[in-house]
A and B are shown apart, each in its own frame.
Chain A
Amino acid sequence: MQLKKRKAGRVGRAISAISATLLIATAASCENSAVAQDFYGLDKAGRDNFGPGIAYTEFDGALLIYQEAGGRVQAIEPTANLAIHGARGQQLTLGAVADAVSGATPNGAVPSDRTQTFVTPLKPQGSSTTVTSASGGSTVIQLPPTPGQVASAALGRQYTTAANTLPMDKGFRDHRAALTAGWSQPLGWISEIGGGGGFSREEDYQSITANVRAAKNFNSDNTTISLDLNGEFDSSFPFGGVPTGLSAMNAQFKPVTTRHKTQLGFVLGLTEVMTRNWLMALNYSYDSQKGYQTDPYRVISVVDPVSGEPTSTLYENRPERRKTQSLFWDNKLAFGPTVTELSYRYFTDDWGISSHTVEASERINLAKAWYVEPNVRFYHQNAANFYRAFLVSNAALPAFASSDTRLSRFDAITYGAKIGFRVSGRSELYVRADYYTQSGDGHPANAIGQLRRQDLFAGTKAAIVQVGYQWKFH
């Protein structure tokens, strides 16, 4: 909104004069950062003030607990971030994440009205991820030794799934640690320029990421255009080796031990302060992935064309190239004691997947230092064009096939709430809880024989709880 000239009379001039005085004061005080901090660190009411032009540090710590229904995956993830802000817009960020994941995970096979048995390589004794005969409902089996192999070393792991039950591998256990670091600052006419990197290591996966970012503010800082370039180099070294796609599931160690994936992408962003109350952001993202994108542990059932009984189990196989695009529109609206956030994302890729995501949250600042924030998220995706719940034994094998529910057509809804408490002007404690549930077609029209009586959608239901603490200090 532009003020009309005739209205910018004495009041306008007075405001301009005050603004100019403040600008001069800012410029003058910046010469002595200690003085600037004392002055700007506190507002008129003596409260702490953190923001642009002020040097301060922010520590964020959080603990995430994730639990899936039905005794499936459970994860505990502590995270910590440290952001050091300089008075001239510099920012150093350091982050650390640890993950402990365990539980049962669907192996990709269909349920059957008969007992099913699966075999997989046995982790050697002494491995930090050993699955023993006593855990995970697995038993150790003797395999025919390969040439030159000692018979006692030729062992595999076998697990059994009861009739009419979704096959799950209960030996799933992993740990992850990740570190990130980033730097940004203004440089000449560029409002923000920076870069960063990350390193993440799991027991069977490693990821190295790097990014650079540039942003320019204009229109009285109401408009920001930004460009982020990102790269990722991943290595997958699954336990038991990398299986050949669409070969029969077996307990032998595979000769190929490691496969890689590279990912390059960019995010072009526009952030606009639309009015005093309304902040909007619009992002376009493009990513290109090349390399190994198959889940090395996941299998797919081949079933009899009449009875629908599984006749064999093959390792899944996914294409090695994927290009994704997304458009993300975010809005934040401040009215009275509330802040409403409403966002929409459209995602599409060349695997045939497209998705719509709508998220809404309403933060309500209550009396004193408390606030509550209910939230809801709706998600819908189409299936990848190589998604198959199962393969049929009398049909030719496709080049690619995966029964991963995450590549199927489904809807998901998340709802939850957050409660926050401002401990002081410098620190805040919050806890939030969300419930996430996926729903899909468990009885597809192409189900055969006994499969018509089974639920073929292995979707997730999960509870997410996170406790976090933010602490700002000068």
Chain B
Amino acid sequence: MKPLRIIHGALIALVAAAACSSCTAVGPRPWEKDLMARPEMQLVPYPLQTAADEHVYFSKEASSGGRGFAGGGCGCN
């Protein structure tokens, strides 16, 4: 099944990327993290906005999750 193969390949790539990044110095030095410290650089700076989006899309589309759990916690789908 093609999509499954793609996903499995991607999963291996993810683990490989994690393994590589652990042994090489990817990323900035501690004193270069000023931009990463900005609140808007968090992956989810506005959790209620993200939750609202995911709630709407979960209710109206067949796909869910990705950023987090695919469950909706409601009967809206």
B-binding residues in A (CB < 8 A): 1-3, 15, 19, 50-51, 60-62, 64, 66, 77, 79, 81, 97, 99, 101, 176, 178, 198, 200, 202, 204-205, 207, 209, 211, 218-223, 225, 228, 230, 232, 234, 236, 263, 265, 267-268, 270-277, 279, 281-285, 287, 324-328, 330, 332, 334, 339, 345-349, 351, 353-355, 357, 363, 371, 379, 381, 384, 406-407, 412, 418, 430, 432, 436, 438, 460, 462, 464, 466, 468, 470
Cβ-neighbour of B73 out of A61, A200, A236, A379 (below 8 A): A200
Please name 7 further chain A to chain B contacts, defined as beta carbons within 8 Å, in addition to the given A211-B69, A354-B3, sorted by A numbering: A79-B48, A200-B74, A276-B35, A332-B43, A345-B63, A462-B56, A462-B60
27 contacts between A and B (CB under 8 A): A1-B28, A60-B48, A207-B71, A207-B73, A211-B69, A219-B25, A222-B27, A223-B22, A268-B14, A273-B26, A275-B27, A276-B34, A279-B43, A283-B66, A324-B64, A324-B70, A326-B70, A328-B65, A330-B43, A346-B7, A347-B63, A347-B66, A348-B4, A354-B3, A430-B49, A436-B60, A468-B48
User: Which residues in chain B, 29-43, are within 8 Å of chain A measured between CB atoms?
Assistant: 29-41, 43
Question: Which residues of B are in contact with A by a Cβ distance under 8 Å?
Answer: 3-4, 6-7, 10-11, 14, 17-18, 21-22, 25-41, 43, 46-49, 51-52, 55-57, 60-77
Contact B4 A325 (CB under 8 A): yes
Question: Is A326 within 8 A of B65, CB to CB?
Answer: yes
Known pairs A325-B4, A348-B3; A79 contacts B73 (CB<8 A): no
Residues of B within 8 A of A277 (CB): 35
Min CB gap A216→B, angstroms? 10
Going nearest first, the 6 A-B pairs with the smallest beta carbon separation are A205-B75, A222-B27, A328-B66, A347-B63, A348-B3, A62-B48
| Most chain A CB inside 10 Å of its own CB: which residue of B18, B25, B57, B62 | B62
With both beta carbons as reference points, the residue of chain B lying nearest to A464 in the complex is identified as B56
On whether the beta carbons of B43 and A267 are closer than 8 Å, the reply is: no
Task: Let me know if B14 and A346 touch, CB within 8 A.
Answer: no
Inter-chain residue pair count (beta carbon < 8 A): 222
Q: Cβ of A355 and Cβ of B62 under 8 Å apart?
A: yes
Measured between C-beta atoms, what is the minimum distance from B9 to chain A in Å?
Answer: 10
* Closest residue on chain B to residue A335 by CB atoms: B35
Asked if residues B63 and A357 are in contact (CB atoms below 8 Å), the reply is yes
Q: Which of A228, A234, A346, A371 contacts B68 (CB 8 A)?
A: A228
Q: A66-B56, A326-B65, A460-B60 are in contact. Are A468 and B46 (CB under 8 A)?
A: yes
Report the bound CA distance from A257 to B49 in whole Å: 35
Query: What is the distance, in angstroms, from B61's C-beta to the closest C-beta of chain A?
Result: 6
Q: Are A15 and B31 in touch, CB under 8 angstroms?
A: yes
Question: Which of B18, B25, B41, B46 interacts with A270 by CB under 8 Å?
Answer: B18
Q: What residues of chain B lie closer than 8 Å to A276, measured between beta carbons?
A: 28, 32-36
Contact: A381 with B73, CB < 8 Å? no
CB within 8 Å for A220 and B27 given contacts A225-B18, A228-B68, A325-B4: yes
Q: Is the CB of A209 within 8 A of B62?
A: no
User: Which residues of chain B come closer than 8 Å to A384, judged between CB atoms?
Assistant: 62
Judge whether A263 and B10 touch: CB under 8 Å: no
B70 A406 Cβ-Cβ under 8 A: no
| Interface pair B69/A228, CB less than 8 Å apart | yes
Contact among A1, A273, A285 with B65 in the assembled complex (CB-CB below 8 Å): A285
| Closest B residue, CB atoms, query A382 | B62
Say yes or no: B31 contacts A19, CB within 8 Å.
yes
Residues of B within 8 A of A412 (CB): 60-61
Say yes or no: A274-B70 contact (C-beta < 8 A), given A222-B21, A223-B22: no
Q: Which of A282, A324, A348, A466 contacts B14 (CB 8 A)?
A: A282
Which residue, of A263, A273, A282, has the highest number of chain B Cβ atoms within 10 A?
A273
Using A271-B43, A276-B33 as known contacts, say yes or no to A265 and B69 having CB atoms under 8 A apart: yes
Q: Nearest chain B CB to A195's CB is how many angstroms away?
A: 13
Q: Inside 8 A of B57's CB, which chain A residues have their CB?
A: 379
Cβ-defined contact, A438 with B60, below 8 A: yes
A464 to B21, CA, bound (A): 40
Contact of B18 among A223, A430, A436 (CB under 8 A): A223
